[in-house]
A and B are shown apart, each in its own frame.
Chain A
Amino acid sequence: MTISPTQTSPIEDSALLRPFRLIGQTVLAGFREIGRVATFSGRVLLACVTPVIYLREVLRQSLKIGFFSLPVVGLTAVFIGAALALNIYTGGARFNAEQFVPNIVVVGITRELGPVLAALMLAGRVSAGIAAEIGAMRVTEQIDALLTLSAKPERYLYAPRVIAGILTLPLLVLVADIIGVLGGYLVAVGALDFNGSLYLRNTWNFVTGNDIWSGLIKAAFFGGIISLMGCYQGDRSKGGAGGVGRAATLAVVGAAVLVLASNYVLTSIFVRVGL
């Protein structure tokens, strides 16, 4: 007996093969999603570097993404710097290396904690905000309205947000670096009996341009990832308020995971090229 392609054979139908089928479906769905994210990102990034760029929108988004994130990034940085100083002091005391607190705080903040924690805070604040806003525009037909008015959403909506993310996150991280070092300084001088001017001199003499630059380059990548994920999930959302909520959640989770994964990749590249 021959089996027509529309029927499933008894073997394909057997419960034994179900786990394999599930694995296959999941893997395929995963690749489809990667493909979708990649084509979406490609389209938006192309719109970021080719005319027309709506400067007015870039400015408005920079304010929204960058300027209004200053408080949350500053607060994160000051507490992380303070906690870092305490931990390094306790850890360093085990081999009489307490005096290296300023050195390790500044490297830890500029290379790693500044960019990563600022990015994680913005993954919550900015990714979710973008996804919810664009998702709401999608379900209220505003994206369709844009298209009928000959405006491309990637140009008018997405590129300004991604450009703003890439430009403002490094600036935020620069601020976080300074405030993070200040947090460490406050704890070191206030609670650990460090000499204030010596602490600052040690910090300044130890930190290199590469420490700061590598953090800022990371920040630019993270800024792009965060705003892209927000745009992508918002663009794909459908089905009313529930869909918008789901888009915001997926954007935060996706942005956070991608920030951490790309942080590792970028760090290993920096180590290899000696940055």
Chain B
Amino acid sequence: MIDFSDKPILELRNVHKSFGDKHVLRGIDLTVAPGQSLVIIGGSGTGKSVTIKSALGLMTPEQGEILFDGHLITDPKRLDALRRRTGMLFQGGALFDSLTVWENVAFALLYRDGVSRAEAKRRAIETLAKVRLPASAADLRPAELSGGMQKRVALARAIIATPELIFFDEPTTGLDPITADAVNDLIVEQVKALGAAAVSITHDMASVRKIADEVAMLHEGRIVWRGPVSALDSSGNAYIDQFVNGRAEGPIQPAI
């Protein structure tokens, strides 16, 4: 068993975020230990995406603190460090469609680290192999790939610079169950290989059981439950029970 009692790599303290009069995050408290895989679950529109976008500094919360490796990310230098040491897999992949697959994967090497194109391409092909994509895919455009392949390219782009923390935004959304399972396996395998921490958001319970060490449940802008994935079925928490079993009746109102 891994000991997660170290200093957290990511910490959110009482984070609030509103859009107009919509109060989306109402005081999120969250810690992620190095090497830990935390999955945030919750219904649509409960603020899961907003939580990780705030943690990445893509959105600025009105209130509360976000610390990466013990430092506030409001400091531009720290935010830069956060982005250098983290990776993010976006929901739709968010691959740059004007670039080839290998340029996408090696983007950080090319434009941030100033690695030569030949060396960057070599490392991109190496990373593509880790996500089971052949070297022949390197010179294709993202639009020429299937959804599952795009996800894998996006995963390769997220892991190429050996991050210590990786965010996954609904990694299996829009994939068939078999491809989704393969993507889950790849995520677990690559995160383990890097020894990185992971924060994922999803509402795919199969994905949760596969990739999570711990699960946190987000409801109405707050964390209402957190515990190890093994406790998911015996939590005794009404929110978790309703969500895990996918019932329309319970404390959570369906978002329709």
Q: Please name all residues of chain B whose beta carbon is closer than 8 Å to the beta carbon of A151 when the two chains form the complex.
A: 107-108, 111-112
Q: How far is the CB of B169 from chain A (nearest CB, A)?
A: 8
Partner among B57, B94, B107, B157 whose Cβ is within 8 Å of the Cβ of A140 = B94
Q: Please name all residues of chain B whose beta carbon is closer than 8 Å to the beta carbon of A14 when the two chains form the complex.
A: none
Complexed CA–CA distance, A59 and B84 (Å): 28
Q: Please name all residues of chain A whose beta carbon is closer than 8 Å to the beta carbon of B87 when the two chains form the complex.
A: 148
Q: Say yes or no for B239: interface residue by CB 8 A criterion.
A: no
Complexed CA–CA distance, A145 and B84 (Å): 13
Contact B92 A148 (CB under 8 A): no
Contact A144 B83 (CB under 8 A): no
With A150-B112, A151-B111, A156-B111 already in contact, the answer to whether A145 and B90 are too (CB < 8 A) is yes
Q: How far is the CB of B227 from chain A (nearest CB, A)?
A: 29
Contact A147 B83 (CB under 8 A): yes
Q: Say yes or no for A149: interface residue by CB 8 A criterion.
A: yes
Contact B92 A141 (CB under 8 A): yes
The winner among A54, A137, A142 for most chain B CB atoms within 10 A is A142
Complexed CA–CA distance, A156 and B111 (Å): 9
Q: Say yes or no for B58: interface residue by CB 8 A criterion.
A: yes
Complexed CA–CA distance, A141 and B170 (Å): 14
Contact A149 B83 (CB under 8 A): yes
Contact A144 B90 (CB under 8 A): yes
Contact A148 B58 (CB under 8 A): yes
With A54-B111, A140-B92 already in contact, the answer to whether A147 and B58 are too (CB < 8 A) is yes
The winner among B94, B112, B157 for most chain A CB atoms within 10 A is B94
Contact B91 A150 (CB under 8 A): no
- Interface set, chain B 35-94, CB cutoff 8 A to A: 53, 56-58, 80, 83-84, 86-88, 90-92, 94
With A148-B58, A150-B83 already in contact, the answer to whether A141 and B94 are too (CB < 8 A) is yes
Count A-B pairs with CB separation below 8 Å: 50
> What is the interface size of chain A, counting residues whose CB is below 8 A from a CB of the partner?
14
Contact A141 B107 (CB under 8 A): no
Contact B107 A149 (CB under 8 A): yes
The chain B residue sitting closest to A148, CB to CB, is B88
Contact B96 A145 (CB under 8 A): yes
Contact B112 A141 (CB under 8 A): no
Contact A142 B96 (CB under 8 A): yes
Complexed CA–CA distance, A138 and B88 (Å): 16
The winner among B80, B96, B112 for most chain A CB atoms within 10 A is B96
Q: Please name all residues of chain B whose beta carbon is closer than 8 Å to the beta carbon of A147 when the two chains form the complex.
A: 56-58, 83
Q: Please name all residues of chain B whose beta carbon is closer than 8 Å to the beta carbon of A148 when the two chains form the complex.
A: 56, 58, 83, 86-88
Complexed CA–CA distance, A144 and B92 (Å): 12
Complexed CA–CA distance, A146 and B94 (Å): 9
- Interface set, chain B 82-119, CB cutoff 8 A to A: 83-84, 86-88, 90-92, 94-97, 107-108, 111-112
Q: How far is the CB of A144 from chain B (nearest CB, A)?
A: 5
With A147-B58, A149-B108, A150-B108 already in contact, the answer to whether A141 and B91 are too (CB < 8 A) is yes
Q: What are the interface flags for A105-143 relative to B under an 8 Å C-beta threshold, 1 for contact and 0 otherwise?
A: 000000000000000000000000000000001001110
Would you list the 5 A-B pairs with minimal beta carbon distance, nearest first?
Answer: A145-B94, A141-B94, A148-B88, A150-B112, A141-B90
Q: Can you list 11 pairs linking A and B with CB atoms under 8 Å apart?
A: A137-B96, A140-B94, A141-B90, A142-B95, A145-B94, A145-B95, A145-B96, A147-B83, A148-B87, A149-B108, A150-B108
B residues sitting closer than 8 Å to A (CB atoms) are 53, 56-58, 80, 83-84, 86-88, 90-92, 94-97, 107-108, 111-112, 157
A residues sitting closer than 8 Å to B (CB atoms) are 54, 137, 140-142, 144-151, 156
